[in-house]
A and B are shown apart, each in its own frame.
Chain A
Amino acid sequence: MRKPLLEVKDLQIKFETKRGTIAVSDGVSFAIGENETLCLVGESGCGKSVVAVSIMGLLPAHARVAGEIRYREADLLQCSPGEWSRFRGREIAMIFEQPMSCLNPVISAGRQIAEAYAANNRCSKREALAEARRKLDEVGIPENCFVKFPHELSGGMQQRVMIAIALACRPNLLIADEPTAALDVTVQCQILELLHCLKDRYRMSMLLITHDLGVVAEMADTVGVMYAGTMMELSGVEDFFYRPGHPYSRALMNVVAGNALSPIRGSVPHLLEPVPGCPFHARCVDAVEQCRRARPQPRIVNGRMERCHHFTGDNSGRQLDQMVSSR
């Protein structure tokens, strides 16, 4: 197997708060190969964004991080802040959910892109601006928007500017944290298409965080399902959609694939009071006594990982179409 670009091993992130310690990420592991897209899905508050932010090294000071985040040969968690910042922008870049608040309100769009380029490259102001013009063209923004300020641009345009900023230094890994959540459906489509196209052009790898299984189907090579800070399932996109393994994945799929809306009952357990056993057992239709007592360990069969006591690697009996028709 080829060496992955980014490898996260047993990532543990804890926040020390006044009301106690919260484990927002508990033993998350995944790997992203060159030119590959990994989608992280899961409900709100499951720790997806925290994992993304931890790869960037932008967690707040009260976060305690353990485990390993390996980018190529470097273990980012062992890096000094200065060394880590050399990866940001040039190697790993990030797109955030709210383009409006992530753009500096008093600097024009073009200059912000130039600034991102200049931050990582020794170059003259003119070169940076020329590069910014090229980037702006690449993300499909008309020339006259170069001098516009963020508030003069629409949400879709702002997100395009964000993408141009992220791509300013040709990163090898792009982390997109719900890049389309704040946008209109038609604009979402355009932005995803743009990301897809740019990913191929720059031969980037991508870590995409989303709630939208449609986006996953469109973009992903691998899908990671997170629940309450734990990686529940990690499998190829085909396996995930056609043979969803984990009961949580199946429930998620049920929500969107069923004819009628079938929500998952209950809500994500509060991270301040971790539940014993499998974190999903309270909402799981297949839960048995063992699920309430013992925490399932990750098991890997045929290249897919699951944390479930029921998991054997044989999902023939749980195919999606059967599942839908049985309802």
Chain B
Amino acid sequence: MPKTVRIGAIIIICLLVVACLAPVLTPVNPLAVNMGEKLQGLSRQHPMGTDQLGRDVLSRVLYGARTSMAASFSVVIICLAVGIAIGCIAGFYGGVIDELLMRLVDIMMAFPPFILPIAITGILGPSLTNIIIALALTSWVGYARMVRSSVLTLKHLDFVAAAKAMGSSRSRIIREHIVPNAVHPLVVYAAFNASHTILAISGLSFIGLGAQPPTPEWGNMLSEACSFMGSSPYLFIFPGLMIMLTVLAFNLLGDGLRDYLDPRLGTEVDL
């Protein structure tokens, strides 16, 4: 397995652990305002300092991992579910169903990827849930396209005919034979989509459409830090580093997996 996959996976696992164990790792409440300790620099008590309301930046960064990971994973999971279902139906049944679903995909693809979430939050109101819905609405199309194209090649393969010859029903063939074969190209796509989602969520939160203060989220921490950029740079350095680290981890994972899973690129053989 390539080094990049391992590094990416390790970082992501660490982030997940951090997200899960945030209350244990930092006993300080990320929402606790303490005006007496506002904008303090790095200290033993507050390793990443405190913000303009005296909240502990470390605990906000750790709780921010929660928000970001939960949001990006929900988007990816929703997209996987919808994308696989729509892609399989379109690819396997073909004909009018395929035509209708693929035109829907085309319509969704015609929207610029950042405009639709902004429009949707404009309608539904800014909140993290609405951002998740908006991002899922724009990203499932890629999954559906990929699954459909795999299904189109898979359904003509001999083992599908053989399964049919064994009396398997259509739904059974899709479930047991098509889906397991169609998902592995999705793994790479999902990794890149996750990194993309993290950036999008941070970006949208930065402009005030995503997670609403006081929810600790890296994007809105950055936007709050803007006013104190000169005096307290640590306020945006740490959330910024976290965003970078997470995106990097998902990209390393996706890149590595692509090389690892692509049989055409000579991968090392484990002997």
Contacts and interface: CB of A to CB of B under 8 A. Distances in A.
A87 B184 CA distance: 33
B166 A96 contact: no
A88 B165 contact: yes
Most A CB contacts (10 A, CB to CB) among B158, B159, B166, B180 go to B166
Contact of B180 (A88, A93, A104): A104
Contacts of A168: 166
Number of chain A interface residues as a range: 20 to 34
Most A CB contacts (10 A, CB to CB) among B157, B164, B167, B184 go to B167
Given A96-B158, A101-B158, A101-B159, A106 B180 contact: yes
Given A107-B176, A107-B180, A56 B158 contact: no
A35 interface: no
Nearest to B162: A102
Contact of B165 (A58, A106, A107): A58
Interface stretch (A12-20, A115-123, A290-298): A115-123
A110 to B, nearest CB: 14
Nearest to A119: B168
B31 interface: no
B161 interface: yes
Interface in B161-204: 161-169, 172, 176-177, 180-181, 184
A90 to B, nearest CB: 6
Interface string A34-62: 00000000000000000000001010000
A188 interface: no
A102 B167 contact: no
B168 A89 contact: yes
Given A101-B158, A105-B181, A169-B167, 15 more contacts: A87-B167, A88-B167, A89-B165, A89-B168, A93-B166, A102-B162, A103-B162, A104-B176, A104-B181, A105-B159, A106-B181, A107-B180, A116-B166, A116-B168, A119-B167
Interface of B: 157-159, 161-169, 172, 176-177, 180-181, 184
27 contacts: A58-B164, A58-B165, A85-B164, A85-B167, A85-B169, A88-B164, A88-B167, A89-B165, A89-B167, A93-B165, A93-B166, A94-B162, A102-B161, A103-B159, A103-B162, A104-B159, A104-B177, A105-B159, A106-B180, A106-B184, A107-B177, A119-B163, A119-B166, A119-B167, A162-B162, A165-B166, A169-B166
